[in-house]
Amino acid sequence: MLVAVLLAVVLPGTVSPAEVHFSPDEGIRRHLLRAIRDSRQRIDVAVFQLTSVELAQALTAAKNRGVHVRVLTDKERAATGGPAMRILREKGVEVRSLGISDQSLMHHKFAVFDNGLVATGSYNWTNTAERANYENLVLFDDRDVVARFIREFQRLWQDAKD
């Protein structure tokens, strides 16, 4: 009971508890795929590295259903993203990159779905993160926290290059 009271004080406005997932055992990717599939209006992705063809295909499928999809990634990783980044660009997904070689990285790992759900954690959108690495992903829908992620994405997007 005391923990619930403390959480209510520390996290005012929390509508529902967060979902927490771990890889490689739990299969984080399926939770991202579900969020992508369920999105109806907008998906904003800020992720250091995106090499998963399955996630790239899901994002392009969302775009084809009329969802506005934007992907922001690290500048060096965008250049070496292989087939996944190529799929996104060829299918018309807006892709930008940010970072200065040897000076700074765009190291975020989050996505905002329909301005109402955030997925964040250590999980890069890669096959290695799914199958081998010990990673985490947290999904939550607290309006105040989601709004901060939306503002951060907008700030980065404005500074990024095509």
Residue among 44, 63, 109, 142 flagged as catalytic: 109
Strand order in the sheet with 19-23: 19-23, 135-140, 117-120, 109-113, 42-47, 68-74, 94-100, 104-105
User: Does 114 qualify as catalytic in the annotation?
Assistant: yes
* DSSP β-ladder status, 104-105 and 94-100: antiparallel
Listed in sequence order, the residues at least 6 apart from 116 whose beta carbon sits closer than 8 Å to its beta carbon are 141, 143, 146
Residue among 63, 107, 141, 144 flagged as catalytic: 107
Cα(24)–Cα(151) distance, rounded to whole angstroms? 31
Peptide bond into 17 cis (omega under 30): no
Residue type, 98: L
Residue among 108, 114, 144, 161 flagged as catalytic: 114
User: Does 63 qualify as catalytic in the annotation?
Assistant: no
Residue with structure tokens 């969802």? 67
The secondary structure element, H or E, covering residue 43 is strand 42-47
User: Does 109 qualify as catalytic in the annotation?
Assistant: yes
Residues known to be catalytic: 107, 109, 114
